[in-house]
Amino acid sequence: MTNLSSRRKFMQEALNAARQTSARVSPNPRVGAVLVKGDKIIARGWHNGPGTAHAEVMAIHAAGPAVAGSTLYVTLEPCNHFGRTPPCTKAIIEAGISKVHVALSDPNPQVSGRGTARLRQAGIDVIYDDEAQDDAAELNRPYLTWMTKHRPWVMLKTAQSLDGKVASSFGESQYISGPKALSYVHDLRGDSDAILVGVATIIADNPQL
């Protein structure tokens, strides 16, 4: 039997797989999965965006025949409905996976609880790893906010000097953030579905959004 420390390690690997993606998978969630057999990872998968294979299916295909009897670690509850791709539950059942560890339930009404119920109905042991729940949720704040609150996830970025200034008295743009912060902000912008900025900033700075 896989011990607790190993289960944590494998779920962390699934979370790391999910981080291979970006928020550009929107409106879908970021999901990672690993398949384990004999206490060793035999395959990894992650979702690359709408219309592409889900993380579980990518891992199953990567594992090949070795998938039978393996354990799946996945960061979000497997789907049980037909969308642009077939349900992951069907692929998991047909692959002969014996156990599934899940970090977070999917609040999508088309999925919530249904994926888990279908797997258990097929005789697959489904275990929720509560310790990984927060990390899995952090990867999908925009998705979870939209599904649970029906509004966008909004981020505010600001930078100012110690005396509360954002520009010189002549209105000239002065970099307050360092290079690492600027690079990180551009990554955040690139992962966002929309960017809102004041017209005065556009006129004065012509920023690279």
- What is the SS3 assignment for 145? helix
Residue/partner pairs of 9-14 with CB below 8 Å, 24 or more apart: 10/34, 10/36, 10/41, 10/71, 10/73, 10/101, 11/73, 11/75, 11/101, 11/103, 11/129, 11/131, 11/132, 12/132, 13/41, 13/44, 13/73, 14/73, 14/74, 14/75, 14/103
- Asked if 94 is an active-site residue, the reply is no
Please pick, among 56, 77, 131, 138, the residue that the annotation labels catalytic: 56
**Cβ-proximal residues to 111 (8 Å cutoff; 6+ apart), any chain:** 77, 78, 79, 80, 81
- Give the count of alpha carbons within 13 A of 74, CB side only: 33
Q: From CA 178, how far away is CA 159, in angstroms rounded?
A: 10
Q: Looking at the annotation, which residues are catalytic?
A: 56
